[in-house]
Structure 1
Amino acid sequence: MGSESVRSASQNKFWGRTIKVSEVKNTMLVSLQWLKDYTNVNVPIDEFCDRMIMSGSDMETCEELGCGISGVVVGRIDKIEQHPDANKLVVCQVNVGEEEPLQIVTGATNIYEGGYVPVAKDNSHIPGPLHGQPKVEGGVTITKGELRGVVSNGMLCGPQELGYDDKIAPYISKDGIWMLPGNWDEYLGKDFAKALELSDYVIDFCITPNRSDCLCMIGMAKEAAAVFEEKMTYPDTECEKTDENASDYISVEVKDNNCKRYTARIIKDVKIEQSPWWLQKRLMAAGMRPINNMVDITNFVMMEYGQPLHAFDIRSIAGSHIVVDMAKDGDKFVTLDGQERDVYADTLMINDAEKPIGIAGIMGGLDSEIVDDTNTVVVESACFDKTCVHRSIKKLGLKTEAAARYERGLDPNLCEAAADRVCKLVEMLGCGKVLNGSVDVYHNPETAPVIKCRVSRVNKILGTDIPREEMVNYLERLDMKVEGEGDTMLVTPPTVRQDMKEEVDCVEEVARLYGYDNLPMTLPSADTVGTVSKSWELRDMTRNLLCGMGASEIQTYSFSNNKILDGIGIEEDSWERNFVDIINPMGEETSAMRTILTPGMLEVLGRNCARNQERVRAYEIGLTYMKNLVDAQALPVESYNLTMGIYGKDEDFFTLKGMVVTLLERLGIEDLEFAAESDYKVYHPGRCARILTRDKNGETVELGIMGEVHPDVAENYGIGTRCYICELFFDLIVELSDKEIQYHQPPKYPSTSRDVAMIVEEDLQVADMEKAIREAGTEILREVKLFDVYRGEQVEAGKKSVAFSLTYRHDDKTLTDEEVDQIHGKVIELLKEKFKAVIRDN
């Protein structure tokens, strides 16, 4: 495996019982040494990683443990004396299996006589870094020397010096020397790495959200056993029990359906002490700090089975009664990390007869934790609804190893097995006595679905010709039961595989074990008829058309809020404030989904203006979201809108209007009208128009609005020049579009044009004038184009000069000047009569 795949032990891990939400990774640290406790996978590490990856297990990194250590041996501290010339140093006599002890000077405060430690002798090599110092590439060589006049023949090592992050060091060794548990006399002077069997590989697998069963060693062992065709060995859960019954010590009441199962076991005569090295080693490889035997056992079983557990001191449970129920608003609770937290009405709590003692699926209470004088323990093994736990995580901002598993969804059938495994480990470590029986509340036992899977369908999807027997073999290797005959396989997955629900899930499992790299590159054998929707086609056409007009596509955030709409002058009771609110927003700016695209466009124009872009043409096609006012229980209404924005030299209202008209006509929208609008406060009151057309029934329909942005709104967005925007209801355009391609013969006869310029009142709408011109021009008037609007010194106040270009053409003959002049004259007379227009000389 390349060096780029290997990481240091201090990277990308989480430790302890509490993790910040931002630090939690969706990964599983798998110790290859630990994995072999369950299945005999005996292949080189490169092959193991490659084959697991090709079966669908995504690997992030692989780390080799126990490497880079030489000359470090197991030692026992026989004597500790104060340094004669330094208050913070001590002189140790360390037995390393030689005739004379080694004298070593240290400043550690956690050592004691009779303790077993790693000893780096003269000229030994360790990966480092040294305590309190930065890491050195290539490690550190330890040589003997003097400390304040006293000879030191080496160094006592802490976990950090031997390549382990101090955050996963056993609690007793935290920030100090590594104090080994148990008796190591037979290993004195022996190589430390070999004596402790440190040599191991830890693979960091990325676990997808649907595979909660792989967030444990047994789950990953099942995957490995299936890939390498090995058998599974499951942990022993049988143990001796006393004559006393657990039900005599504790009772459980579940009042809320978000608790699917609650199992409690009782352990008496508990002895709190360090865990044995084999257990500590497993936890450290999994990225967890060993604390004490009871805490370590529950953490070990969680990493083994994927089932979180919690241990309560029974003395703290009032009335010896546990109640699982929702919290009440305003309740406060002090968690194990010593923080007082506000809990909410939709937070599931573990209570006793008087008070809360734990947040279900997340963390226990400080008052019920295991302490040194704890004698009797209640072991909780429960299953809580994943949505409920996820909601609590978000509201409390608290995530633990347990919560990371619960929020993915767990199998309630694991609860009893995990509790039994805890009891077995208690017996193995001799740290307590297990009472007979358990208190188990399981109202609705979960069963696995029976999935109908067709052999022919699997092969059709994968493009393979895999025999039925081979498919059955793959599925059975994954611990699935397969029945049925012929083409039909009736597949029953284990309940822990909550991702297995339908036929395609079985197809995926077959593909994984067949090998993704073995799948042939074939085309489907059936005829395929594919097409795109009308909406998609018109959106694509719109992008091409606007790109041709020099506009750049933008994409803005889909969020909005009342403050943003206040900034563009939207009234309080307007439809634009019919927001779809976000339940757990990251902040005020992302508290709701947008109803219009205009604010996003203004923000982009403002940003470009601030960066001195002299000319901008931009557009966005995006979804908007509104509550369903007809049915409050229905999903929000999603619809596409189109917004365009321009500013710069030679860009004005009519530039944008021309873009809009050209676009809509190319999309099949005809009979466009522009009606003046003065009440929409986003726009300048005299330079705004609603864009209208008619539907198939002849009813007037509004397609959108356009205009010059109001100076106050432009100032709010830092736009220091005149800018123009429009927003169109694109889904309505799609509905009204009549884009059938019809052949029109090119005109045989030439056209002729006439210009007309006139002075009219300032408040006269150009659209009204254009409509009148078309009516007077009869069928030979083919095009009316506005080409100039002038206000200035040559026009008196309160008036404006408007100029049109009129194009005339007949389909069956060439028009004479007399015929054109006759119709054109009627147009001019109508303008004079209807609008009091004063015709200007050409």
Structure 2
Amino acid sequence: MLVPLKWLKEYVEIDLDVTQLADDMTMSGSKVEGVERLGKDITGVVVGKIESIEQHPNADKLVITKINIGEETLQIVTGAKNINVGDYVPVATHGANLAEGLKIKKGKLRGEVSEGMLCSQEELGIPNNLIPEELKDGIWILDQPYPLGVNIFDVVELQDDIIEFEITSNRPDCLSMMGIARETAATIGSSLKYPEVYIKEEEDTTLGVKVKIEDLEGCTRYIARVIKDVKIEPSPLWMQQRLMKAGVRPISNIVDITNYVMLEYGQPLHAFDINYVEGNSILVRKAKNGEAFKTLDGVERQLDETMTVIADEAKGLAIAGVMGGEESEITDATTTILLESAHFNKDKIRATSKKLGLRTEASSRYEKGVDANLAAIAADRACQLIEALGAGKVLKEKVDVYPEKKEKRTLKIRHQRMNGLLGTNISIDEMIEILKSLEITAVLEGEHLIVTVPTFRDDLQIEADFVEEIGRIYGFDKIPSTMAKGNIVVGGKTNGQMIEDITKEGLLSLGFNEILTYSFISPKSVEKINVSEDSIKRNFVRLLNPLGDETSVMRTSLLPNMLEVLSRNINRKVEEARAFEIGSIFIPQREGKDQLPYEVSNLVIGMYGQEDFYSLKGVIEGLFNRLGISGLDFEVEKNHPTYHPGRTANILVGNHIVGIMGELHPQVMENYDLSKRCYLAELDFNLMIQFTRVDTMYKPLPKYPAMTRDLAIVVNESVMVKEIEKIIQQQGGDLLESFQLFDVYRGNQVAEGSKSVAYTITYRHMERTLTDEEVNKVQEAIMTSIKEEIGGTLRE
């Protein structure tokens, strides 16, 4: 929002310099993006009158003019085509400085002396896109006689400070001069002066204008006023200057007046040539699907039923709140106009503007929200200016269709809460005065302030909004700085986080690299790992707004991501790899879709290269040993669809299955285009945390010697060493210190279908020296159980 300071001073008394004003406004919440001094570097330009114009003797396209600047008459050579004798023009004299660093000096043009230059608006610092079309390629012809020789900026208010405000979407009321003036008055403690809106003369005739609103969702209020005997001409210089400073190009008096009122009050207006409004009838309706409409910019646009149009009995006249139609626009031949001042649904205007790719000054205001109660004031203000400028005669006829009037809201706020949140001690009277400066009425009733909110402040909905209003006008910079109070808590990692760090350190020390993958995966990923149809891993949490099918669900397993990583490395000729990831999987709750899913932390380990099943088993044992997890065991798993049958084992801690490990199934390898055997393990990391004991327990070195025995037994080939070790543990009792498998033999000395398994068993008593009899007794018990339970015999 561009705000010319001289225009702003019409509504509020300002004694501050522009820099201080900009700082104060920023501190009160109206952020200033910048301040530009228009015409600040322009000097030496005065008012002159053209006394004569003669053809240049040596150039067909140049003329020699005599310019009276009061104390002297200058000879100036120019190529301008729009000048006439008697015109008052800006004259840059010898030594003058113009826009963009242009400096004027006396000289000769084609042999004739030229003592200065006649100036255009662009040369005086006005951007080319804001200059009226009729003046773009010519000299600026002043609108009336002015004292000759006076500085041009003393007679036309061209030099000005232009303040640019950033208006946030929740403050559409500030997209107007009156809105900024209201904020300025409240900020600097000055009074606000509204324009005195009245219509002097109203023609006591009517044209029988009718207005009907069919699309009540799209339009909540429509006002129509009629002006006759319209004279289309340029608007006065003061109005043109204000529009140009505010970033709007002047066009003609009627159009300029509607733009002026829009900038002043924030209410867009539109004028139709009533000769093109059939039946003098206005119908606000929904557009038809595929309806073609040519807008003022000459482009034919296709509308649909989500858009609102202003129409007559036969055709569309305007796209509501966005742009008028080409047929009914104001032209030099217009004599009677219908002035529209309406309120449209902001959401529909925003959607329409976006669909059509058409954004205007009107739509930018409507889409943020315009107060419906502004419509009547703005219409009367426009009629007042039309009368004051002699642009037409306003008829007494006025149509105002307003089915549901917007009323002020009343809310209760706690004044103690205001100070409590702000950390201030503002008195109740001061709070009431602050709110009053923002045109919010406040009355004290007990512990509450009863506030009445004006209809242009839709952003004030809850108590916290008033805390902000009081705080920003009081001055956030006035709030004293205090030290934070409260209990100081020393930060630190949780037990689970520390165990996760130990796990990562352990795997890194074993040659693994940590990977991080997305939690969003494709639902087809479970098919690639051969998950059964009834598996819980097919029960996904689905995203409402996925980027695509490949990332449309939350993962129920870390395995697919790990396999993607291993496949990518193999295909890029990486000969061997070890990787791991600790991440969450997401399992929906069965109770209902509104419940958050279970989030379970898992660990996945993957490896290929110079590896086998036992390499992975060693990794698991080393990791669990580092975590202090005791009772680790492995159990054969033959039915898991993802892993190779016969090369897969469940990982147990006591009676709890904490995971699975093994070689990947050949079918899964084919699904992921894996050319090397891959070994993977999946573990429930939450369970691992429960079993972890990171505190190291020490015991004294033994005082008494150990006794060792070697035991070689012959068992059937189908017997697993785990069964033998279980018997050794059970029968070894308190004397058993350790045992170690050191040989598995198949050969001539062992019957076919059998194998010899040999162990070294260590016995020790912590309080005395063992005897051979004691050890032999335990050995015999072990051997007896082996024979009875698994049919084993002592190898001879």
* TM-score normalised by structure 2 residue count: 0.72
1:691–1:702 contact (8 Å) kept in structure 2: yes
Identity %: 36
Tell me, in whole angstroms, the C-alpha distance in 2 between the residues paired with 1:332 and 1:693.
73
Q: Which AA in structure 2 matches 1:746?
A: M
Q: CA 1:67/1:645 → structure 2, altered by over 3 Å: closer, same or farther?
A: farther
Tell me, in whole angstroms, the C-alpha distance in 2 between the residues paired with 1:809 and 1:392.
88
Tell me, in whole angstroms, the C-alpha distance in 1 between the residues paired with 2:280 and 2:33.
46
Shift of 1:318: 2.7
Shift of 1:142: 1.5
Shift of 1:340: 2.0
Tell me the SS of whatever aligns to 1:224. helix
Shift of 1:750: 10
Tell me the SS of whatever aligns to 2:78. strand
Is 1:51 the counterpart of 2:24 in the alignment? yes
Tell me the SS of whatever aligns to 1:399. coil
1:270–1:375 contact (8 Å) kept in structure 2: yes
Tell me, in whole angstroms, the C-alpha distance in 2 between the residues paired with 1:75 and 1:702.
96
Shift of 1:365: 1.7
Tell me, in whole angstroms, the C-alpha distance in 2 between the residues paired with 1:495 and 1:151.
64
Q: CA 1:819/1:502 → structure 2, altered by over 3 Å: closer, same or farther?
A: farther
Tell me the SS of whatever aligns to 2:442. strand
Is 1:501 the counterpart of 2:461 in the alignment? yes
2:77–2:109 contact (8 Å) kept in structure 1: no
Residue 479 of structure 1 corresponds to: 439
Tell me, in whole angstroms, the C-alpha distance in 2 between the residues paired with 1:162 and 1:461.
51
Residue 352 of structure 1 corresponds to: 312
Tell me, in whole angstroms, the C-alpha distance in 2 between the residues paired with 1:737 and 1:74.
91
Residue 140 of structure 2 corresponds to: 179
Residue 124 of structure 1 corresponds to: 96
Within 5 Å, which residues of 2 pair with 1:71-470? 71-77=44-50, 89-91=61-63, 93=65, 95-98=67-70, 99-106=72-79, 108=80, 115-128=87-100, 139-174=101-136, 176-177=137-138, 179-180=140-141, 182-183=143-144, 185-244=145-204, 248-470=208-430
1:117–1:177 contact (8 Å) kept in structure 2: no
Query: Which stretch has the larger CA shift, 78-87 or 394-403?
Result: 78-87
Tell me, in whole angstroms, the C-alpha distance in 1 between the residues paired with 2:201 and 2:83.
38
Q: Which AA in structure 2 matches 1:53?
A: T
Deviations 1:305-350 (A, max 9, x none): 1111122222222332222222233223222222222223312222
Q: Which AA in structure 2 matches 1:465?
A: N
Within 5 Å, which residues of 2 pair with 1:554-633? 580-581=544-545, 594-596=552-554
Residue 60 of structure 1 corresponds to: 33
Within 5 Å, which residues of 2 pair with 1:743-754? 746=697
1:674–1:692 contact (8 Å) kept in structure 2: no
Q: CA 1:150/1:265 → structure 2, altered by over 3 Å: closer, same or farther?
A: same
Is 1:32 the counterpart of 2:5 in the alignment? yes
Q: CA 1:474/1:103 → structure 2, altered by over 3 Å: closer, same or farther?
A: same
Deviations 1:275-309 (A, max 9, x none): 11111111112111111111111111111111111
Shift of 1:171: 3.0
Tell me the SS of whatever aligns to 1:452. strand
Q: Which AA in structure 2 matches 1:32?
A: L
Q: CA 1:461/1:577 → structure 2, altered by over 3 Å: closer, same or farther?
A: closer
Tell me, in whole angstroms, the C-alpha distance in 2 between the residues paired with 1:666 and 1:379.
85
Deviations 1:618-647 (A, max 9, x none): 979899999x9978xx8x989979899999
Shift of 1:497: 0.9
Tell me the SS of whatever aligns to 2:90. strand
Q: Which AA in structure 2 matches 1:402?
A: A
Tell me the SS of whatever aligns to 1:208. coil
Q: CA 1:641/1:311 → structure 2, altered by over 3 Å: closer, same or farther?
A: farther
Tell me, in whole angstroms, the C-alpha distance in 2 between the residues paired with 1:329 and 1:552.
57
2:604–2:683 contact (8 Å) kept in structure 1: no
CA-based RMSD of the aligned residues comes to: 6.1
Residue 737 of structure 2 corresponds to: none
Shift of 1:264: 1.7
Shift of 1:43: 0.9
Q: Which AA in structure 2 matches 1:415?
A: A
Q: Which AA in structure 2 matches 1:102?
A: Q
Residue 747 of structure 2 corresponds to: none
1:776–1:826 contact (8 Å) kept in structure 2: no
Q: CA 1:742/1:606 → structure 2, altered by over 3 Å: closer, same or farther?
A: closer
Tell me, in whole angstroms, the C-alpha distance in 2 between the residues paired with 1:808 and 1:177.
112
Q: Which AA in structure 1 matches 2:126?
A: Y
Tell me the SS of whatever aligns to 1:367. coil
Tell me, in whole angstroms, the C-alpha distance in 2 between the residues paired with 1:234 and 1:150.
55
Shift of 1:249: 2.7
Tell me, in whole angstroms, the C-alpha distance in 2 between the residues paired with 1:649 and 1:561.
25
Query: Which stretch has the larger CA shift, 460-469 or 159-168?
Result: 159-168
Tell me the SS of whatever aligns to 2:202. coil
Tell me, in whole angstroms, the C-alpha distance in 1 between the residues paired with 2:295 and 2:679.
56
Tell me, in whole angstroms, the C-alpha distance in 1 between the residues paired with 2:38 and 2:302.
42
Residue 10 of structure 1 corresponds to: none
Shift of 1:195: 2.1
Tell me the SS of whatever aligns to 2:430. helix
Tell me, in whole angstroms, the C-alpha distance in 2 between the residues paired with 1:822 and 1:566.
53
1:264–1:379 contact (8 Å) kept in structure 2: yes
Shift of 1:723: 11
1:327–1:346 contact (8 Å) kept in structure 2: yes
Tell me, in whole angstroms, the C-alpha distance in 2 between the residues paired with 1:622 and 1:51.
51
Tell me, in whole angstroms, the C-alpha distance in 1 between the residues paired with 2:649 and 2:178.
65
Q: CA 1:561/1:819 → structure 2, altered by over 3 Å: closer, same or farther?
A: same
Q: CA 1:483/1:188 → structure 2, altered by over 3 Å: closer, same or farther?
A: same
2:74–2:115 contact (8 Å) kept in structure 1: no
Tell me the SS of whatever aligns to 2:94. strand
Q: CA 1:689/1:401 → structure 2, altered by over 3 Å: closer, same or farther?
A: farther
Shift of 1:728: 12
Deviations 1:92-117 (A, max 9, x none): 525342453532223x5555665543
Q: Which AA in structure 1 matches 2:102?
A: V
Deviations 1:47-78 (A, max 9, x none): 21221122122121111112101111233455
Q: Which AA in structure 2 matches 1:152?
A: S
Within 5 Å, which residues of 2 pair with 1:728-767? 746=697
Shift of 1:224: 0.8
2:543–2:554 contact (8 Å) kept in structure 1: no
Query: Which protein shows a greater Rg?
Result: 2
2:607–2:679 contact (8 Å) kept in structure 1: no
Within 5 Å, which residues of 2 pair with 1:830-841? none
Residue 756 of structure 1 corresponds to: none
Shift of 1:125: 0.8
Shift of 1:514: 1.4
Shift of 1:774: 11
* Structure 1 unaligned blocks of 5 or more: 1-27, 129-138, 583-588, 753-768, 782-806, 834-842
Shift of 1:253: 2.4
Q: Which AA in structure 2 matches 1:580?
A: L
Q: CA 1:711/1:555 → structure 2, altered by over 3 Å: closer, same or farther?
A: closer
Deviations 1:235-282 (A, max 9, x none): 122113434466713423242323122222222122111111111111
Q: CA 1:741/1:473 → structure 2, altered by over 3 Å: closer, same or farther?
A: farther
Residue 134 of structure 1 corresponds to: none
Q: Which AA in structure 2 matches 1:265?
A: R
Residue 14 of structure 2 corresponds to: 41
